[in-house]
Amino acid sequence: MANFAVSFVALFLFYILQQSKAASASFNVVTFGAKPDGKTDSTLPFLKAWSAACSSASPSIVYVPRGSYLLKAIVFSGPCKNKITVQIDGTLVAPTDYRALGNSGYWILFIEVNRVSVFGGTLDARGAGFWACRKSGLNCPVGARSITFNWANDILISGLTSINSQSMHLVINSCNNVLIRNVRVTAPALSPNTDGIHVQVSTGVTITGSTIQTGDDCISIGPSTKNMLMSSIKCGPGHGISIGSLGNSVNEGGVENITLTNSIFSGSDNGVRIKSWARPSNGFVSNVVFQNLIMNNVKNPIIIDQNYCPTNQGCPHQSSGVKISQVTFRNIQGTSATPEAVKFDCSSSNPCSGIRLQDIKLTYMNKAATSSCKNIGGTSSGVLMPSSCV
């Protein structure tokens, strides 16, 4: 009986082991023909590995070993049969000629996928050539976002590094339940429109433990975004963390339930910003909390700008229809790079309401900075430097 029990246990353990192996099929891109030399086009082998994983009935892994892999514009599409983990131990590089990515607006695109996790890896979009084209005023492509998720659910992005995107680095569009953690995004301070992470038309996005240094917003939040949490972010250089720009269209979904906490801004053009165009719109911003933030030599630590017009060309010179309400700024301290550390320039037709300032300490040249307010209502409490105009 004892021997039978031992045999049964051994057989059971063998069965469990085999099941665990079968439960996670692995597809190595090199097996499908990818070359880790940074020169050979590996787009098709990557697509073959993805197709095999996507059609797998069991959870699967797409594995990218160490090395450098050249990818042209590529689309990983779903829906897939089960969850997929993309483990990147190498570097994905875009073609040297920026025109090779075309006018699609993307480099790496995940579309209509669920339960996809991306771990590790570096994306090098080699954007300098495209930026030079933009600066020269020549006829350039639209610019490619490095990695985009469209219509995706239950997404995890962990430990990814993105450098020198032509345009935005990481875009979350029309997604639900996304966790972005421990990512690093880098581009020169003067690189145009290289937002670190852009989120729009999405619900339940969390960004944490990430360092973002770019030529545009570290994080930008577009219309129809709600239930978003950002924490432990290091931002700068760049344009800060922005809600907006909003109000570019008359019919536009609102932004609500947004929290940023425990983050540091260093040398950025803005700290926390809400911006909207001065034109009619039914958009809104509601229930926002910016708290526990440190500003180090930031030009506009706290700003609401409802007369946004970045190039000062074609400005609508109307009144913004975007309604901003219930926004809290709490425990924000540090240094401003300009005399005016707090600026609220709200809409004359839709004044900001429910704006709360609590424990703000921002200095300029070792003295109290200043603040200005237009068309705003709210309350202030605690230590307030500069003195509140709310």
Greatest Cα pair distance in the chain: 89
Q: What is the CA radius of gyration of the chain?
A: 24
241-246 β-sheet, strand order: 74-77, 106-111, 145-150, 170-173, 197-200, 219-221, 241-246, 270-276, 300-305, 340-345, 370-374
* Whole-angstrom distance, CA of residue 380 vs CA of residue 326: 13
> Pick from 203, 75, 87, 68: which is nearest to 145 by CA?
75
Are 68 and 34 in contact by the 8 Å Cβ rule? The answer is no
Q: Which of 169, 198, 239, 317 is catalytic?
A: 239
Under 8 Å CB-to-CB from 27, ≥6 apart: which residues? 49, 50, 52, 53, 60, 61, 62, 63
DSSP string, 178-210: EEEES-EEE--TT-TT--SEEEES-EEEEEEEE
In this structure, what token pair is assigned to residue 195?
Answer: 């937002």
Q: Is 239 a catalytic residue?
A: yes
Q: What residue has token string 């550390």?
A: 341
Catalytic site positions: 239
